[in-house]
Amino acid sequence: MTDNSWLQIGLYLATIILCARPLGVWMAAVYEGRKTFLHRALGWLERLIYRAAGIRPDDPMNWKAYATAVMLLSLLSGIALYGLQCLQGYLPLNPEHMSGVSPDLAFNTAISFVTNTNWQSYNGETTLSYLTQMLGLTVQNFISAAVGMAVLVALIRGLRGKQTDNLGNFWADLTRGILYILLPLSVVLAMLLVSQGVVQSLNPYQKVRLVEPQHYSMRTTGSNGKMVNTRTVVRHQLLPTGPAASQIAIKQLGTNGGGFFGANSAYPYENPTPLSNWLEMAAILLIPAALCCTFGRMVGDMRQGWAIMAAMLLLLIPLMIGCTAAEHAQNPAVAHLIHHHPGWALKNHGYMEGKETRFGITDSAIWTTVTTAASNGSVNSMLDSYSAIGGLIPMWLLQLGEVVFGGVGSGLYGMIMFVIVTVFIAGLMVGRTPEYLGKKIEAFEIKMAAICVLVPPALLLTATAVACVLPGVTNALGNTGPHGFSEILYWASSTANNNGSAFAGLGTNSVFYNIVGGVLMWVGRFWIIIPTLALAGSLAKKKIIPPSSGTLPTHNGMFTCLLAATVVLVGALTFFPALALGPIVEFLSGGRL
Amino acid sequence: MRVLRAAVAMLVIMSGITGLAYPLAVTAAAQYLFPWQANGSIVNNPQNRPTGSKLIGQYFSGARYFWPRPSATAPVPYCPYNAADGGCGTGSNLGPYSPGFLAAIKRRIIRLRSADPQSTTPIPASLIMASGSGLDPDISPSAARYQINRVARARRMPVARLRRLVKRFTRGRTFGILGAPRVNVLELNLALNRLARKRKH
Amino acid sequence: MSISTQSLFNRTILRRAVLDALGKFDPRVQVRNPVMCVVYAGAIFTSGLFVRALAGGGGTSAGFILAISAWLWFTVLFANFAEAMAEGRGKAQADTLRKGRREVTAKVLAEPHKGAVQRIAAAADLRQSDIVLVEAGEVIPADGTVVEGMATVDESAITGESAPVIRESGGDRSSVTGGTRVLSDWLVIRVTCDPGETFLDRMIAMVEGAKRQKTPNEIALNILLAKLTIIFLLATATLLPFSIYAVHAVGHGSPVSMTILAALLVCLIPTTIGGLLSAIGIAGMDRMIQKNVIATSGRAVEAAGDVDVLLLDKTGTITLGNRQAVEFICAPGVSLSDLAEAAQLASLVDETPEGRSIMVLAKQYCKRRPRDLESAQAHFIPFSAQTRMSGVDIANRQIRKGAIESIARHAAQLGGSFPAELETAAQTIARSGGTPLAVAQGSQVLGVIALKDIVKPGIKERFGELRRMGIKTVMITGDNPLTAAAIAAEAGVDDFLAQATPEAKLKLIREHQQGGRLVAMTGDGTNDAPALAQADVAVAMNSGTHAAKEAGNMVDLDSNPTKLIEIIETGKQMLMTRGSLTTFSIANDVSKYFAIIPAMFSGIYPCMNRLNIMHLSTPGSAILSAVIFNALIIIILIPLALRGVKYRPMPAAKLLMHNVLIYGIGGLIAPFIGIKLIDMALTAMHLV
């Protein structure tokens, strides 16, 4: 690691922490329905939406009504997105004449975006029309993010409710989240990104003449069926374009992560400069971090929010430093290679394979930890080519359950499930029926929290196991040995936890991976949302017990450490054996098995 | 079924706002405020025809040019889009210890050494390791400096002149902190061509 | 109780526990505990593998499978043993109680008075509202209420307290318990319960743990443990396909054996807490019984740990039973010894505790012995509600003692007056929570006696402890607010309810409960019953009325109102023991991974051996050591589970820190040492 690495890590974290409070307080105001300055500009639109959709924003919803609304909207979204992909060939805004997407890929992509996973089996510039990108992906980037935030807000209402079953109105939460939070931030970020060089146009792809035409000889099948060498001269490049900036802004802000282009944020048109990289990276954690403050504000004790954020940072910072250091280190296999060729000399720059020059190792590694800590999943460098430890860290961040900041809303409600488990065990240890924010944690709460903690590991371990032994499926691997296993494990971890980043060597655009991946994403998302809302409903019905000195404080350093320890312990104990067979053994081998 | 009606209405309305109004408004604003960037940062050649994007790398293989980083795109390096083969920007996705990766490293070192046999300078990593997008427009300043001798010989230009040129096209970290120092290969090579043309005249 | 003094590991209990532990191998018993059930299944499964290996199947050596299988069986056995140990004491106790319930006959009366017609019936045939007569030397046949008579009763069979107690009709000492013995006089009793539902029956059921239901926290913990077990089951089971892939990928080695997977699974699932969980609950109830408290359910004991507000009766709980004379204040011109003598004379036949305390105080100032009163022809005037005075006419002296206003009126009638100095003194006494009594001789007021509530020694410290636990104490008294405030301040309670009526108590409890607090209270009188029924934790005194005992969810056989503090501690201990052992159990897993994972995979990936940081000698020894440690730790922790984690009254944050350090960090480190030692032992004995 260089001095610059430390400086950038420090600067990045400081930015996130400084922005958290003002934005968090602002979001709390939005969700509590208080008037902000944006209401003057957009209030009419909000009212218009309610009228057009026949919604009364003050109608109370109990948890079942809230969950029904969430599920129904998500289901319809999925169907709409699936249809849009299949029919894009007949629809306008398709200058490159993309044909309809294959059914399994469309299924995977639809679920991927509805669940805020944004796994990329698709390849934006080669498969999707501009209309699909806009009306399909961009829309779901907004909706799935707003759904996550709404579920969080419902949970907060459950925590602070006094013997009620009202969790708020989902439609109002959704509208407010999009209109006052996601949309304004996206407009600002999109314009900043365009200024850096992110494309935003509806023009067809542009053909340019290469400075130096290139001659290649390729082996192709000739007309007589035999392999022949053909010489080709490449004189042109076809530069993809499209309405990218508007989608990338929400892709980062909504912790979605699905790229406009296949190479995601490594693609220069998505992420052209160190500054655009910085802005996008900041956008990834901006809302998840600020939601901690929203939480603190809404439960009436800011310290509760800071404590959770501190636990998240406690997990993030060492992993960020670890990943950066691991990528700066020397690749022992390459060193070995050089060593065996006298006269060869290599200027050591660490693991540069798969990384962009303009970001260097530091910005790539920070991005990687941030994007996997948050359930963003966009990549500005190729994780498959990371060092063993550098790849282990993002994979483990996924497996922790996307709770280190995590997805917008989903990260925090996931973390609150861990809080409940921690409070339960810690509460027992101080000899009281555990309580959190004055709410007793009893069998039902533990059951729901345990489901939330249990579902993603169960899904991903099972899926990995199946993928490991299914004949032929391993052909999809881009690498062999432990690294190939890491690719499968990463795929399952990423989809089951709704992250969407990938060890991209795995060819997942096949029926098995598309269908199984789609199921993992759907179950991983909604089998957590429903128990979370059920939990919120159960909490809302309870009394609030006033704190006493016998109450376990949940806002101090001790609790923060315990919370972090619980997340680490559950993550480590569940995944150590699997990780041992992937990145750990790869690391131990040093390239020589 | 009030909830179904609300869900359908919400999906339609939100699609309209975030899927049409928002991207189209941003497009309009971008085309008005930053038309060059919004349309791909296209660079023209002396004939004023588009010859590439400042942001998308091009492959150079001749000794007279600075070479970019290796690229894993298919079917040819630095292929951002190829409708026929489904080619697009991508990394190699090879594991750090994979035989394919190590073989590629070996191949690239041999190629670099044979292009400039006299050189004893250690080879910078960015010249032997492929980028993430396969379209990286930049190389590290040391990778540019490493190639100066070869280009100078091929073009019969003084080394010092090239050093100055590389220095001129070296961009440091943004604000001295962000990113990494780099040299844009397309810009550097276009400048080389301009220099050569000026000398001809 | 005689048994409560027995040590934890009594020989008979041990022997019995071993036998009971074997009986618990019944699958119907095992299925109740999800964690241990998995171990049980693992043991059966590995036994099957052993049989297969003997028949020549499978790749692993039969000896190794046998060793693993045996230790899995031991793990189940040890958990059974822990439960049996916890039940052991209760069972022994129940036996003793049963012995006390001999067959007795009862004299059933036709009418509720002593002279009514009698018939003889067996105690077992008595029904509710039968009337029985019990005379000296007889055993009371059933629980009931005294309707006539007064007697001394030996209740040692229930309470273990040998001193006899008085039971009489009417008032708060009217309830009697079946199985106790009348020592003197006679009692006419109305039976209050049907056979099989008597206090003794309930007590036997309770100590035996026969009707033990899981407490809410235990249920929640069980859910968490079950979910953890599922996670570990998946993490372990998927290792088989993972290892198949690995073998395929590197081309050598063999997939993980089933035996090792079973061993890993058992090591990972929280067997330590799973095996000890029910023992902790049973032992908690057992500790209550040792403290002479009979709880109707474990739920009540657990709730005691959560108490936020504690309502305590002033009299007998916070203060000694009665007021005591603490000071004499003389009128101008009267000597202290004169006042003392007059006070002494006035109190000679006053048998109330107040009267006796005046005598005690007077002796310090008046060295003269009371004159021979018979010869002096003393005429005693008893206390009456009309005059609110008492006293003595002796020789020509008319000595009166009574409330200030009464004596003032008395003196005024005789032409005297009440000195202003005494008036102020009396006011001062009243303000400081005392009661002033005036003493007059004829028309002259001699002075004032200050009577005061005496706060029990050490009670202030107890309240301090409660405050540190985060529990608010509220004193309940019939006194006026002024007096109540003074006593409250002296005793160090947080709040008080003065001039309390049953309705006011009930209202106070409801208010606290509305605010989300959990309320505990003690009581003995019939008028406490509504409040006891409303309180979340209600401890009735055994000396109290039947109504109070019915309303409460615990009965304190010692009738000691400060027992609540110990009940709260026991409740907290139960939770703390569960929490601490859960933490310990999970923290243990880290080391087990470091023992088993390298052993599992070093055949496929030799470099995996670098994870063998304990340098365990062979893969077989590593796995076996982890399994053995996992089994032995249950045995080692049985005493802790039975005694409970020590509770110290300190703020929750500090307590947490303390327990996390011991059971969290300790749980992380201890097994590294333990497994290494077992490995060394196995290697030294050439067992692997």
Q: What is the DSSP string of C213-248?
A: ---HHHHHHHHHHHHHHHHHHHHHHTHHHHHHHHHH
Average the pLDDT over A243-247 and give the result.
96
- The predicted-structure confidence for B69-115, as pLDDT tens digits, reads as follows 999 998 889 999 987 777 788 999 999 999 999 999 999 999 999 99
Residue A234 sits in the same domain as residue A96 = no
- Compute the CA torsion angle A23, A25, A28, A32 (nearest 10 deg): -130
A466: chain C residues, CB-CB within 8 Å: 241
Determine, yes or no, domain membership for A493.
Answer: no
Nearest to B97 by CA among C638, C193, A320, A484: A484
The reply to whether omega before B75 is within 30° of 0 (cis) is yes
Could you say which DSSP state residue C193 is in? S
| Complex-level ipTM | 0.96
What would the two tokens of residue A481 be?
């040995």
Would you say residue A192 lies in a domain? yes
Helix (H) or strand (E) holding A457: helix A443-469
Say if residues A323 and A369 touch (Cβ distance below 8 Å).
yes
Q: Which residues of chain C have a CB within 8 Å of the CB of A450?
A: 223-224, 227
- Compare all CA atoms of chain A with the CA of C609 and give the residue at the minimum distance: A588
The whole-angstrom distance between residue C522's C-alpha and the CA centroid of its chain comes to 13
Tokens standing for A57?
Answer: 């924003």
**Contact state of A586 with B120 under an 8 Å Cβ cutoff:** no
Q: Is the Cα dihedral A474, A477, A480, A485 positive or negative?
A: negative
Q: Could you tell me if A270 and A149 lie in one domain? A: yes
Chain A residues within 8 A of C583 when measuring between CB atoms: 425, 429
Interface residue A426 vs chain C (CB under 8 A): yes
Give the model's pLDDT for residue C161: 66
C556: which 2 tokens?
Answer: 């304190």
* A41 lies in some domain: yes
What is the edge-to-edge ordering of all strands in the sheet holding B182-184?
B138-139, B182-184, B170-171
Does the distance separating the beta carbons of A11 and B174 come in below 8 Å?
Answer: no
Share of residues in chain B with pLDDT > 90 (%): 84
* A523 domain-assigned: no
Q: Burial level of A429, CB count in 10 A (0-12/13-18/19+)?
A: buried
pLDDT confidence band for A211 (50 / 70 / 90) = very high
Nearest CA to B149 among B137, B135, B161? B161
Are A40 and A129 contained in the same domain?
yes
Kindly tell me the burial class for residue A342, based on how many C-beta atoms sit within 10 Å of its own C-beta (0-12, 13-18, 19 or more).
exposed
What whole-number distance in Å separates Cα of residue A398 and Cα of residue A496? 9
- Active-site pick, C20, C313, C453, C589: C313
Mean pLDDT of B56-72: 95
Q: Is the Cβ pair B96, A359 closer than 8 Å?
A: no
DSSP letters spanning C297-332: -HHHHHHHTT--EEEEETBTTTEEEEEEEEEEEEPT
A123, part of any domain: yes
* Domain around A288: 18-204+241-298
Task: Indicate the helix (H) or strand (E) that contains A277.
Answer: helix A274-298
Q: Which residues of A touch C647 (CB under 8 A)?
A: 431
Instruction: Give yes or no: residues B13 and B89 share one domain.
Output: no
Residues A113 and A34 in one domain: yes
Q: Identify the domain boundary among A239, A264, A288.
A: A239
| Pairing outcome for strands C165-168 and C293-295 | unpaired
Claim to verify: residue A222 and residue A261 sit in the same structural domain? no
Q: What is the pLDDT of residues A412-433, one digit of tens each?
A: 999 999 999 999 999 999 888 8
Q: Which DSSP string corresponds to A95-123? A: TT---PPPHHHHHHHHHHHHTT----SS-
Substitution target from A429, A445, A451, A454 for chain C, most C beta carbons within 10 A: A429
The lowest-confidence range among A57-71, A374-388, C332-346 is C332-346
Task: Identify whether residues B57 and B154 lie together within a single domain.
Answer: yes
What is the least distance, in Å, from the CA of A302 to any CA of chain B? 32
Cα A138 from Cα C374, distance rounded (Å) = 110
Query: Which chain A positions have a beta carbon within 8 Å of C220's beta carbon?
Result: 424, 441-443, 445-446
B85 and B33, same structural domain?
no
| Same domain (yes/no): B22, B112 | no
Residue A231 and residue A82 in one domain: no
The answer to whether residues C651 and C468 touch, using CB atoms and an 8 Å cutoff, is yes
A588 at C interface, C-beta within 8 A? yes
d(CA C264, CA C234): 12
**CB-based contact, A584 to chain C, within 8 Å:** yes
Q: What are phi and psi of A234, to 5 degrees?
A: -100, 120
Contacts of A357 in chain B (CB under 8 A): 69, 126, 131, 136, 138-140, 180, 182
Which chain A residues are closer than 8 Å to C519 by Cβ? none
My answer on whether B32 and B90 are in the same domain is: no
Summarize pLDDT for B114-138 with one digit per residue, the tens: 999 988 889 998 899 999 999 999 9
Name the residue among C241, C578, C608 with its Cβ closest to that of A465.
C241
SS3 letters for C457-501?
CCHHHHHHHHHHHCCEEEEECCCCHHHHHHHHHHHCCCEEECCCC
Question: Do A199 and A177 share a domain, yes or no?
Answer: yes
Whether residue B94 sits in one domain with residue B55: yes
Residue C597: φ, ψ to 5°: -60, -50
Are B21 and B47 within one domain? no
Q: Flag if A348 and B25 touch (Cβ within 8 Å).
A: no
Residue A577, chain C, CB below 8 Å: the answer is: yes
Partnered with residue C315 across adjacent β-strands are C319
Read off the pTM: 0.89
Show Cβ contacts of residue B160 under 8 Å, excluding neighbours closer than 6 positions.
none
CA distance C239 to C236: 5
* Beta bridge partner(s), residue A342: none
Which chains share 3+ C-beta pairs under 8 angstroms with C?
A
| Listed residues A298, A328, A344: the one ending a domain | A298
Owning domain of residue B102: 42-200
Same domain (yes/no): B129, B180 = yes
Chains that touch A (3 or more CB pairs under 8 A): B, C
Contact at CB, B91 and A480, closer than 8 angstroms: no
- The pair of structure tokens assigned to C526 is 């019939």
The rounded radius of gyration (Å) of the Cα atoms in chain A is: 24
Q: Is residue A528 part of a domain?
A: no
The tokens for C399 are 């000595």
Higher-confidence residue of C363 and A273: namely A273
Residues A232 and A153 in one domain: no
Tally of domains in chain B: 2
- Asked if C313 is an active-site residue, the reply is yes
Nearest-angstrom CA–CA distance, C346 and C327: 16
pLDDT of A293 higher than 90:
yes
Compute the mean pLDDT over every residue in chain B, rounded to the nearest whole number: 93
* Contact with chain A for residue B8, Cβ under 8 A: yes
Whether residue A23 is found in the same domain as residue A91: yes
Which distant-in-sequence residues (6+ apart) come within 8 Å of A235 by Cβ?
A209, A210, A213
Q: At residue A413, what is the residue type?
A: Y
Residues of B within 8 A of A347 (CB-CB) are 122-125, 142
Structure token digits, residue A218? 């390729």
Give A543→chain C minimum CA distance, Å. 6
Residues of chain A neighbouring C586 (CB-CB closer than 8 A): 569, 573
Which of residues A497 and C102 earns the better pLDDT score?
A497
Shared domain for B34 and B48, answered yes or no, is no
- The owner of tokens 């139960």 is C574
Query: Is the CB of A354 less than 8 angstroms away from the CB of B59?
Result: no
Same domain, A220 and A126: no
Give the closest-approach CA distance of A446 to chain C in angstroms.
6
Q: Are residue B59 and residue B22 in the same domain, yes or no?
A: no
Specify whether A77 is located in the same domain as A210: no
Q: Are B19 and A136 an interchain contact pair (Cβ–Cβ within 8 Å)?
A: yes
Residue of chain A whose alpha carbon sits nearest to that of B66:
A212
Q: How high is the pLDDT of residue B24?
A: 97
Going by C-alpha positions, the residue among C17, C27, C43 that lies closest to residue C631 is: C43
**pLDDT tens, A564-574?**
999 999 999 99
Q: Are C586 and C227 in contact (CB under 8 A)?
A: no
Nearest to C231 among A565, A574, A581 (CB): A574
CA angle B182, B187, B189 (to 5 degrees): 105
CA separation for the pair C591, A569 (Å, rounded): 12
User: What is the pLDDT at residue B66?
Assistant: 96
Between positions 13 and 42 of B, the ones with CB within 8 A of A are 13-15, 17-20, 22-27, 29-31, 33-34, 37-42
CA pair distance A152, A138, nearest whole angstrom: 22
Q: Are strands C519-523 and C537-541 parallel, antiparallel or unpaired?
A: parallel
Q: Do B80 and A272 touch (CB under 8 A)?
A: no
Best probe of the A interface among B11, B79, B151, by most A CBs < 10 A, is: B11
Q: Which of C637, C518, C641 is nearest to C568 (CA)?
A: C518
Provide the pLDDT for residue C4: 41
Q: What is the pLDDT of residue A212?
A: 94
**What is the pLDDT at residue C64?**
92
Cα C379 vs. chain centroid, distance in angstroms? Answer: 52
pLDDT above 80 for A348: no
B104 and B10 in a common domain: no
A432, A544, A562: residue with CB nearest C660: A562
Q: How many domains does chain A have?
A: 2
What average pLDDT values come out for chain C (688 residues) when binned by 10 residues?
49 86 89 92 94 80 92 95 86 76 79 84 83 88 85 78 76 78 87 79 71 81 94 95 91 90 95 92 84 81 86 78 81 85 81 79 73 64 77 82 86 86 85 83 88 82 83 84 84 87 88 87 80 89 78 82 82 91 94 94 92 93 95 94 87 89 94 96 85
Q: What is the CA radius of gyration of chain C?
A: 34
Q: What is the mean pLDDT of residues A283-302?
A: 96
CA distance B196 to chain A (A): 14
Residue with tokens 């792809």: A205
pLDDT of residue C479: 76
